[in-house]
Structure 1
Amino acid sequence: MQDLDLIDRKIVAELMRDATLPIAQIAEKVGLSQTPCWKRIQKLEAQGVLTGRVALADPVKLGFGILVFVEIEAPVHSPEWRDAFTRAVAGLPEIMEVYRMAGRMDYLLRVAVPDMTAFDLFYKRLTDAVPIKNVTSHFSMERIRFSTAYPVDTRNR
C-alpha cells in the first residue's frame, strides 16, 4: 500500500466522491491552495493511486436491466487454459468485472445485459469460447447498495 499522508487521502476521497469537482473546490476541502493540490493530483496519477476518472451511469436507463453474477469452475488449472479464458472474457463486453477467486469457484464475473435473451446469447458465446467445467449464474433482484469509492481513512492519525 502506498504511504499516503492525510492530504493525499482527502484528495483521493473527494475525487472518488465526485471527480468533476473543480480543483479550487477540492483544494478548499483539503486545506490547500490550487497549485499544490493540482500537483498532488498529478503525483497520485503518476504513482498509479488514481487510475482514471469516469462518469457513473444508471444501467437501467442505458438498457441494461439484468445484472448477473456468474461463477466459473475451470476444467483444468493450466497456464494455457487461464490464457484462453483471459482472452475469451476480454472479448465479451457484457462482462463488467472478472475476479480469480479462492474457494469453491475459480472465477466470478459481473455481467450486465438488457434481458434474458441477451444473457442466453452471452452464455453461449462464453461457453463456446473456452471449455468450462461448471457455470452458475445468480441474477440480481435489486441493487441495495452500490459504491465505487473505497473507504479511505480521512482522519488525522
Structure 2
Amino acid sequence: MKKGLIYFCLFISFASQAQEAKEISWLTFEELEVKLNEKPQKTFIYFFTDWCMYCKKMDWNAFKNEAVKNQLAEKYYAVKLNAETKEPILFDGQIFKNKNEGRIAYHELALLLGSRKNKAFSVPVILVLDENFKVEKRIFHYLTSKDLLALLTD
C-alpha cells in the first residue's frame, strides 16, 4: 500500500511539472538593451493600451496559450509596453518620452517603432525583429493564439 502511494505521489508530481509551461518573461526596453548586448537574439515587441479590448483579449487568450508561452520563452526576448506610458525610456543611448497631451497620448518609442505609413497609430502592434534588431514582421491587429504561434514559428 505504501509503495502504491509513493508511486502515485511521484506520478502526480511529474505530471504537474510536465504540464507547466514556461512563462513569458516580459522585459523593459532597458533590460532588452542589456540582453541584446550580452547575446543577440530575435525580439518580440508588443504595444498595447489599457483601453484596447483586442489587447485584453490577446492577454487573456493568445498570451496564455502554452505553445505561445514556450516559443516566446525559448526563442525570443519579449517586450511588452503600454503605448500610452508616461515613463521616459532610455534605449540605444536616447531618452524617449511621451510628449503628447490629451486623452490619447502615445509614447514616442511606440510611435517610432509601431507606426505605419499614412495611417494613424493603433493598437495592438506586434513587431518581430531579427538578431540584428531589424524588423522582420509588423502586425497591426488582433491575433488568435493559433495565428500568434504561426508568426512565432515562421
TM-score, structure 2 normalization = 0.23
TM-score, structure 1 normalization = 0.23
